[in-house]
Amino acid sequence: MKIVHVADLHMEFSMCDLVGNKETVLVIAGDTYAVKKYGGILQTWLKDHCKRFKALVWVDGNHEFYKRPMCRVQNIMQQYNDEIENFHYLNDSEVWIEGQHFLGGTLWTNFNKGNPIARNAAMYGMNDYKSIKILHGDIAGRLRTGDVIELFESTYYFIQKHVTPESIVVTHHAPSYKSGNPSFVDDELQHCYYSDLEKEILEWQPKAWIHGHLHHNTSYRIGKTQVAAYSRGYNRHGTNNMVKELSI
């Protein structure tokens, strides 16, 4: 079984087409499309691509939630999961495909372990906090950094509980600063893109950790774990068949 991955297709700007075959699992690590409504363009695209691949494994990015409240988007994606046999929506959940364990979710960030400077920079510097709505009780309001920390912890504890050395973890946000462009370490918004989980990775040692979000292609090891990201980014001219084979 071959595994290919891609992230940040950002098809809200321009659609693209991925070529595959029935021996290959496609992993999509978030920011694929701003999910507007059930039964729209995305559903057609997913059904079409699920016919081309053995299976399609999906996590939401942050941009999935720009057009609808988070819970609405998650419900839509779960419906696709229930209706399309080989479509697997990972939302702090797991799936086995021919014995290979995949698990994950968006992950978000812990803002450098809750650092108030990082949280403040995010609130004023990231569009997520203007464009994403989440339920606070019964009322949908703007996303807050406290919400993001709770979302991070939900994915983190799911991974911690279920990961094995044979697992492939899929998240949108990165698990290490090493995934960023080297110049990024001076950016005050850097903690919106990754959390430092190197200690955990060395302890858990999953086979691989696939992510996106940084729009920066990377492939490196933390202990025995292959960390990889391959992104299309904000390409408004259309780029077809952007996938990278996972080397493990």
Beta strands in 92-203 (DSSP E): 93-97, 100-105, 133-136, 139-142, 168-171
Contact between 167 and Fe ion by CB under 5 A: the answer reads no
Taking the chain, what is the end-to-end CA distance rounded to the nearest angstrom?
A: 12
Contact between 191 and Fe ion by CB under 5 A: the answer reads no
Stretch that binds Fe ion, among 4-12, 44-52, 149-157, 177-185 (CB under 5 A): 4-12
Residue facing Fe ion at closest CB distance? 31
Closer to Fe ion at the Cβ: 207 or 244? 244
Closer to Fe ion at the Cβ: 34 or 197? 34
Closer to Fe ion at the Cβ: 62 or 176? 62
Closer to Fe ion at the Cβ: 61 or 180? 61
Closer to Fe ion at the Cβ: 20 or 30? 30
Binding mask 17-36 for Fe ion (x = CB under 5 A): --------------x-----
φ/ψ (deg, to 5) at 130: -105, -30
Contact between 61 and Fe ion by CB under 5 A: the answer reads yes
Among 12, 33, 34, 62, binds Fe ion (CB under 5 A): 62
Binding mask 102-141 for Fe ion (x = CB under 5 A): ----------------------------------------
Q: Residue-wise over 105-144: b if at least 16 C-beta within 10 A, else e?
A: bbbbbbbbeeeeebbebbeeebebbeebbbeeeeeeeebb
Please report how close the Cβ of residue 223 comes to Fe ion at its closest, in angstroms: 26
Grouping H, G, I as helix, E, B as strand and the rest as coil, residue 151 is helix
Contact between 211 and Fe ion by CB under 5 A: the answer reads no
Binding residues with Fe ion: total (CB under 5 A): 5
Q: At what angle do helices 116-125 and 145-162 cross, to 10 degrees?
A: 120
Closer to Fe ion at the Cβ: 7 or 84? 7
Instruction: Name every residue whose Cβ is closer than 8 Å to that of residue 154 and which is 6 or more positions away in sequence.
Output: 92, 105
Q: Rounded to whole angstroms, how far apart are CA atoms 191 and 177?
A: 9
Stretch that binds Fe ion, among 54-62, 64-72, 111-119, 235-243 (CB under 5 A): 54-62
Structure tokens at 159: 């991974």
Q: What is the DSSP-derived secondary structure letter of residue 234?
A: S
Among 8, 64, 94, 128, binds Fe ion (CB under 5 A): 8
Q: Rounded to whole angstroms, how far apart are CA atoms 55 and 112?
A: 34
Q: Rounded to whole angstroms, how far apart are CA atoms 49 and 223?
A: 34
Contact between 72 and Fe ion by CB under 5 A: the answer reads no
What residues make contact with Fe ion under the rule CB under 5 A?
8, 31, 61-62, 213
